Amino acid sequence: MTTQSLTNGIKIGTPIEDALLIDNTIKYDDWEEEYVSEKGYWLETEEVISIAIFIKEVEDDVFYSYEWC
């Protein structure tokens, strides 16, 4: 299985200490109990086990104008 990474090199299995060195915008959110980057993704736990990427929200009329399939 090939592990893909973000363009900055962070990938599944990266220790959070390394991720913090790679992306200095990552901050810990005590309320959500996760690490959040200003670059549009968040990381959970002390070792990266999942990566979620934020996608800019679009207005309904624009959303339904796209051909999704």
Other CB atoms within a 10 A radius of the CB of residue 19 amount to: 21
Query: 3-state SS of the chain: helix, strand, coil percent to 5?
Result: 15, 25, 60
Q: What is the pTM of this model?
A: 0.62
Amino acid residing at 31: W
Higher-pLDDT residue of 59, 18? 18
Share of the chain above pLDDT 90, in %: 16
Q: How many distinct structural domains can be found in the chain?
A: 1
Whole-number Å distance between alpha carbons of 39 and 26: 8
Q: Work out the mean pLDDT of the chain and round it to a whole number.
A: 79
Sign of CA dihedral 34, 35, 36, 41: negative
Q: Look up the domain containing 38 and give its range.
A: 1-69
